[in-house]
Structure 1
């Protein structure tokens, strides 16, 4: 009986290894990359529904690279300027066998596999070569203000967020994600040093530095973060994990 159990266990382990290898080898069968069409809302959209389809609309290459490698855009360095400015529309599909495999995955597994598939697409179509390293960069340390955190513990099962030039609203964000979003707003890497766990909801409203002041205007960004969130951004230099772009070429439209 022991021998039989060992054989069954070995077979299961081999099946898992085979499945993992197959997942790692998945790639898009066909992909079109075109200059972005006029966007009706001006936003970027990344869509990866269940199965073998993927699309990214009105997206810069730095944005898509950040999604594919799960790396904040501020931590992708040394790429040419057009990676931040030229916008593309991507449409990609797999063959039927890969579609079946992807449909059998959980949403988290599907997202992880599709990130790797987009990485391969960037390598194939843009000749992209990257490497990871750690660099000491100008940053902000995100800490709890002396008045204490004013964040609200989230009751949401998921997460959602959005904003504009003067506001940002969020539900269900961890402190890592809050730091990442503040990095996008401030234009500098933000490192979470609050020590806060859990997920939070908040609304942040501020007046840009170049906006004319008025009696009912919101405070400037750093003051708003302290008064409305109970957090502070302190200038610092931090060792940060980064992706360095060694080589990239512009893809020909197709």
Structure 2
């Protein structure tokens, strides 16, 4: 963990520097207020042909994807960062498509989106390490109940009362629990495999019946064999120095 805390700032600095120098770049990009979404969900698509689209997305959510940084660790910025939604379509020049073929983790596309944010939203930011309220994800009494994955890929489905996943590491599970709890969750399990899980709970403000699922924190212990322990942790963050509405298409 200590080594990770030392390496993360270096990794983030590399990410920020790479965004300024990487090629290829988008030939054209259109950014519009989001149209009414049929399902209310956000969709990010980046097939290996140099196209990128983000539908019904907030800038905070797009930054989470572009910088591989949980939303709770993206700080400051205007109020509309997490509320105003956009539809974004972008494409590279046909002559620049080749680099995307051997890019299975889509790092090239992430850097291009970083550059797009800097160009069209005048985004300026820096990275720091800050001590923030957090939860440590640890083993509950009796140990983990996570099931080894039966999937070759990764799927996540979550809502107000459930979180289902296939092929997930505990690091990804911690990131999803961070979104659900509203507080940074740090994986302290040291588990290295991938797992399948189904987590169901009853929100605190929902009526309780005899058939109700347990509260979130109880469900995590009973169904996953894990526990969220309140703490404070030094974590890497991105601090927004400037972010403006998008420039015209």
Normalization by structure 2: what TM-score?
0.90
Query: How many residue pairs are counted as aligned between the two chains?
Result: 230
Number of the residue aligned with 1:162: 157
2:61 equivalent among 57, 60, 63: 63
What is the distance in 1 between the residues matched to 2:23 and 2:200?
A: 45
User: How far 1:252 moved relative to its partner?
Assistant: 4.1
Which residue is 2:43 aligned to?
45
Give the aligned partner of residue 87 of structure 1.
85
When the two structures are superposed, what TM-score results if normalisation uses the length of structure 1?
0.88
Ranges in structure 2 where 5+ consecutive residues have no aligned partner: 1-17
| Partner residue, 1:77 | 75
CA drift of 1:253 comes to 5.3
Q: What RMSD, in angstroms, separates the aligned Cα atoms of the two structures?
A: 1.3
Between Structure 1 and Structure 2, whose CA radius of gyration is higher? 1
SS in 1 for 2:86: strand
CA deviation after TM superposition for structure 1 residue 46, in Å: 0.3
Q: Secondary structure at the match of 2:26?
A: coil
Alpha carbons 1:142, 1:194 under 8 Å: kept: yes
- 1:69: how far off? 0.6
Deviation at 1:100, TM superposition (A): 3.2
The runs of at least 4 consecutive aligned structure 1 residues that moved more than 6 Å come to: none
Q: C-alpha separation between the residues in 2 aligned to 1:189 and 1:106?
A: 29
Matches within 5 A, 1:1-254: 24-102=22-100, 104-108=101-105, 111-252=106-247, 254=249
- CA offset at residue 106 of structure 1? 3.6
